[in-house]
Structure 1
């Protein structure tokens, strides 16, 4: 130290004396050091701080100042080139830590300085010493530096350091996993993923969810199948892991089946991979998943065939390998079969989604084409799988087509057996069951078994004499309600009408009326049938029965037909009058005009004109408001033609009173015109005057022009 006394100048004497006076105090040394920082050289600063730290080795401030000076001096200096200088500073840190090993800042400075040097082992051991020396509450400060160091060191060193870190900070496991993957430690990475997934309380630093972790783990297992250790002793069962995902994540099944197959391909077990592909395409529930699995399966098979073909091409110069060629042929055949199976497999997927889809079963039948055995098997499977109440589509068509399949093959016995079973099926609606019975009868008709067809329909419509069953009562089965199906009876009556006698047909029609399921068309058809066979009176009775069943507006159409037919038959006038009176008695105003017009025409033709006028007069009161003006006009025309123009005055007067203003105005103009033609100018003028009360010149200018023309022609200056 005496050799360095030349570094003390005269200016420093003041500080030296102050130090001598206060030997145990830090302040004189700090003042001295600060003075040298401003006015001294680097060597002088180091000289002062070295003496200070030697004199007061427990002073944190002095050591920190000294260490900062020394490390700052070596900043940006090459650690290999200035190795000796770095070692001196390292030794200085070691001296400081002898007494200041509880000071985290000193450790941080030392560790940061060591990280600049290529001393991995020394640095690692120093980090470990720091962790041992400092209380656990301050470890975070050390680990904040230790982790980047570990990552830069990489290799086994990094992994061991991170394992220790995981013991106290498991929440940073995501970074550890990234490191493990980088270091190709895939087995441990998978185990860490499993720890995350088995810990429901884990919260990701990167906001990842369990599914994302699971997906990353599976990708790791698949992509590095050969490197990852598996088995009970390791605790990793790849197939079990992926299959659990297939069961749990329904929307990812296609991708996961492909993943499992890829795993076995990467392991080199192609047969196992094929088994997985087969299982995948036969168990997935959506067409999207099926497409993913099937397309990957086909690509894998193509790739394998390409490799085999390249190997075969390489065996040139007449060399043959029968086993290899046979293997290639088998693979080619298997690939062709796979492509041929595709439409069937797609159909399987749709049927797995909903086995009650009738249309898909029909498509499957079509796929088999002429393969009779498979067609029958498909129909059998469809009938067994479909729940009639849940069927989507026309379930009865499936039964019909099944029977037609046998019918086309001239096996009518089996076709009848199918039909017999079909009509016992609890279909979703009565209409379907009715269709089924009709199809059965039509099948018999196609084979010219007319009596058989009639007996089938008789059986279908069998019911108690007085049936109280409600056709729309869904609590009853279709079989209990089918006897009230109009479609069934309509087919039955058409069938009997075409192949049986009139008496048999009448019985069917009468039964329809008994069950009260007749429609207006039934009434008309029955009446027309009787009329064709000259049973006119019975035909009229059918119309009357129909009128008992139906109210207006249907009754109007029936009355129209009935009255027309009765009038054409020229039955007695009194009877016809009774019929017309019945028709108009409860007739709504909307339909009255036609019936009254027919009634009046009858009286004009076969009765008395005065009777006809009374009927027309009644009609003007009975018709709807919108028809009243036309009815009065018709009445006036008929009265004028039968009793002269003068007879219409009373009708005009009643019309003007009864009609609304606008229509009354029209009637006044017509009345005035009639009086003018009769030479009654004053009466005509009075009518124009009366009409002017409800004809505003702004809205009815035509009226005023007409009146003006009348006065110009017939009036004087005053009028």
Structure 2
């Protein structure tokens, strides 16, 4: 008892000498004086100011002050008042009173601003660091982070004395509670913010273990069960609670929590939150009881939420997995899952493509086409482009030239549905190639002509070149020239200039150099910029250098100069 009394007296004496007043918050980051002489010099410089204010202090001392102990439990006091009271308590050697005063502020419900919590926490940390500084070195300076690290390193080599160890633990605990205190202030300001509750559960987990974490999550669920202005998803709290049990190895209790969540998330809670819980239940059942039991859970889920796309996808995946492993699954069950989703419109484009692919693998082509037709009716452009592409490619590969009229009807229906121009070029080219291979050349050329007016300018050149290839194969030079001439009459700008060079190259291949020169001359006079289209002029000069004369070469220079003189730049 005598030793304890001496220890308390020594502690109070240290507090008086070290903490004659809590430093302002900005002092904690200041540089610690280098030597005792330097600190002595600074105190002597400050003594003059103290003497000047002595008269004022004497006057203020005549006014009875409120004792610091009266602030303990005073929830109406401001942070500044609490810090001042703690300062007075430390000056009087009442260290425990100072701690209690600051703790009152840190846990006061009225303090919802982060700045207030930061001020009070910094004051409490300054207090504990000051005491630790005295215990460690007998110095009256605030301990820095480097000092605390040094103390920790020393503790590894040699155990600390009981008072120092106690104070180190106090400082460490206070630092660790900083985030929790800020979170508590934020929750007092927004008690229905679910992300703040989840943050608190994570912070509590690192400080107090899973049991404390589950208490926090259960408390949040209870408090928000009847709230109408919840910010976030209630399902996240249930998922976090179930995950806490599962991470602790108690999978069955985690599953029980998820099943309790479903009635708690009944309407008017949005259906998406119940879907999230259903998915989690199925995934938990997979771990606990296997795929067959999970399939039953998924069937229950889609029955409860028949328009939930994720649940139908999960059921289809489970049916496919069971069919592959031959453990009670079948293709009929897989088909029923996909068809059920398709009938209810709870399906994605990717799932429809997967369904159609599974059907075609088993040569059920007409069933696949029916599924694709149903899918096309569900979606708009551009999503439907993937369905049309798979549909037409599979149809042509399956029937080739045996169902030409039906294939034409499909292509025409697609193009008459007014798809956006940027998606049309591949379908026009596929249609024309189908006509080249299984239909008629005249129809193919007609498709190419339609395509030139429908596709965007950046994709018109591949269409024209495909038409040229078709004409060269079936109609000869006359047909090729007709395609080029028609296209050049319709096109403008860079595509027309590029097409002119292809036209000239074709004429050279046919041995018609004068025709090629006439085409390039026309392009130079009407299409090419004398400044911006340098590659064209280089190509024209190379052509004349190979096939022309000095007069034709001079004609190129004259045309270009004339265009520049006319002010043509683009």
Q: Sort the TM-score into its range (normalised by shorter chain).
A: 0.5 to 0.7
Asked if residue 362 in structure 1 is aligned to residue 202 in structure 2, the reply is yes
Q: CA deviation at 1:544?
A: 1.5
Q: Decide which of 219, 222, 228 is 1:381's aligned counterpart.
A: 219
- Mapped to 2, the partners of 1:695 and 1:667 lie a distance apart of 11
Which residue is 1:421 aligned to? 260
Q: Aligned ranges for residues 659-670 of structure 1 at < 5 Å?
A: 659-660=491-492, 663-664=495-496, 667=499, 670=502
Q: CA deviation at 1:361?
A: 1.4
- Mapped to 1, the partners of 2:430 and 2:281 lie a distance apart of 47
Cα distance change, pair 584–405 in 1 and its aligned pair in 2 (3 A): same
Q: Decide which of 281, 290, 303 is 1:462's aligned counterpart.
A: 303
Q: Quick check: 1:403–1:416 contact (8 Å CA) kept in 2?
A: yes
- Mapped to 1, the partners of 2:215 and 2:517 lie a distance apart of 95
Q: CA deviation at 1:537?
A: 1.9
Q: Decide which of 419, 435, 447 is 1:603's aligned counterpart.
A: 435
- Mapped to 2, the partners of 1:420 and 1:518 lie a distance apart of 25
Q: Decide which of 42, 48, 57 is 1:181's aligned counterpart.
A: 57
Cα distance change, pair 247–605 in 1 and its aligned pair in 2 (3 A): same
Q: SS where residue 303 of structure 2 aligns? A: coil
- Mapped to 2, the partners of 1:669 and 1:600 lie a distance apart of 24
Q: Decide which of 404, 410, 420 is 1:579's aligned counterpart.
A: 410
Which residue is 1:588 aligned to? 420
Q: Decide which of 495, 499, 519 is 2:318's aligned counterpart.
A: 495
- Deviation readout 1:344-370 (Å, 9 max, x if unpaired): 64354134213341122122023223x
Q: Given the two structures, how large is their TM-score scaled by the length of structure 1?
A: 0.53
- Deviation readout 1:313-371 (Å, 9 max, x if unpaired): xxxxxxxxxxxxxxxx99789757645743664354134213341122122023223xx
Which residue is 2:121 aligned to? 290
- Mapped to 1, the partners of 2:300 and 2:355 lie a distance apart of 22
- Mapped to 2, the partners of 1:300 and 1:670 lie a distance apart of 89
- Mapped to 1, the partners of 2:137 and 2:494 lie a distance apart of 94
Q: Which runs of 5+ in 2 are unaligned?
A: 1-52, 139-160, 188-192, 323-328, 556-570
Cα distance change, pair 258–457 in 1 and its aligned pair in 2 (3 A): farther
Q: SS where residue 530 of structure 2 aligns? A: coil
- Mapped to 1, the partners of 2:496 and 2:163 lie a distance apart of 97
Which residue is 2:277 aligned to? 436
Q: CA deviation at 1:181?
A: 3.4
Which residue is 1:542 aligned to? 371
Cα distance change, pair 619–379 in 1 and its aligned pair in 2 (3 A): closer
Which residue is 2:549 aligned to? 712
Asked if residue 402 in structure 1 is aligned to residue 232 in structure 2, the reply is no
Q: Quick check: 1:361–1:382 contact (8 Å CA) kept in 2?
A: no
Which residue is 1:658 aligned to? 490
- Mapped to 2, the partners of 1:305 and 1:685 lie a distance apart of 97
- Mapped to 1, the partners of 2:167 and 2:102 lie a distance apart of 13
Which residue is 2:567 aligned to? none
Q: CA deviation at 1:676?
A: 6.2
- Mapped to 2, the partners of 1:368 and 1:421 lie a distance apart of 25
Q: Aligned ranges for residues 23-422 of structure 1 at < 5 Å?
A: 179=55, 181-182=57-58, 186=61, 188-190=62-64, 221=65, 240=70, 247-250=76-79, 252=80, 255-256=83-84, 258-259=86-87, 261-262=89-90, 266=92, 272-273=97-98, 275-283=100-108, 286-297=117-128, 299-300=130-131, 338=170, 341-342=173-174, 345-355=177-187, 356=193, 357=196, 358-369=198-209, 373-385=211-223, 396-407=235-246, 411-422=250-261
- Mapped to 1, the partners of 2:233 and 2:240 lie a distance apart of 11
- Mapped to 2, the partners of 1:687 and 1:410 lie a distance apart of 80
Q: Quick check: 2:241–2:257 contact (8 Å CA) kept in 1?
A: yes
- Mapped to 2, the partners of 1:677 and 1:333 lie a distance apart of 95
Cα distance change, pair 237–582 in 1 and its aligned pair in 2 (3 A): same
- Mapped to 2, the partners of 1:339 and 1:693 lie a distance apart of 86
Q: Quick check: 1:688–1:707 contact (8 Å CA) kept in 2?
A: no
Q: CA deviation at 1:446?
A: 0.7
Q: Quick check: 2:238–2:257 contact (8 Å CA) kept in 1?
A: yes
Which residue is 1:645 aligned to? 477
Q: CA RMSD in A?
A: 4.4
Q: Quick check: 1:239–1:260 contact (8 Å CA) kept in 2?
A: no
Q: CA deviation at 1:408?
A: 5.1
Q: SS where residue 507 of structure 1 aligns? A: helix
Q: CA deviation at 1:682?
A: 7.0
Asked if residue 565 in structure 1 is aligned to residue 394 in structure 2, the reply is yes
Q: SS where residue 629 of structure 1 aligns? A: helix
Q: CA deviation at 1:704?
A: 6.3
Q: Quick check: 2:218–2:241 contact (8 Å CA) kept in 1?
A: no
Q: Quick check: 1:365–1:379 contact (8 Å CA) kept in 2?
A: no
Q: CA deviation at 1:445?
A: 0.6
Q: Quick check: 2:275–2:311 contact (8 Å CA) kept in 1?
A: yes
- Mapped to 1, the partners of 2:507 and 2:176 lie a distance apart of 90
Q: CA deviation at 1:639?
A: 1.0
- Mapped to 1, the partners of 2:276 and 2:343 lie a distance apart of 22
- Deviation readout 1:466-508 (Å, 9 max, x if unpaired): xxxxxxxxxxxxxxxx654433433333233323433333333
Asked if residue 613 in structure 1 is aligned to residue 445 in structure 2, the reply is yes
Which residue is 2:30 aligned to? none
Q: Tell me: higher relative CO, structure 1 or 2? Use CA pairs within 8 A at least 6 residues apart.
A: 2
Q: SS where residue 345 of structure 2 aligns? A: coil
Cα distance change, pair 278–632 in 1 and its aligned pair in 2 (3 A): closer
Cα distance change, pair 247–655 in 1 and its aligned pair in 2 (3 A): same
Q: CA deviation at 1:304?
A: 9.0
Q: CA deviation at 1:274?
A: 5.2
Q: CA deviation at 1:447?
A: 1.0
Cα distance change, pair 651–331 in 1 and its aligned pair in 2 (3 A): closer
- Mapped to 1, the partners of 2:451 and 2:312 lie a distance apart of 40
Q: CA deviation at 1:442?
A: 0.9
Cα distance change, pair 446–681 in 1 and its aligned pair in 2 (3 A): closer
Asked if residue 512 in structure 1 is aligned to residue 341 in structure 2, the reply is yes
Larger radius of gyration: 1
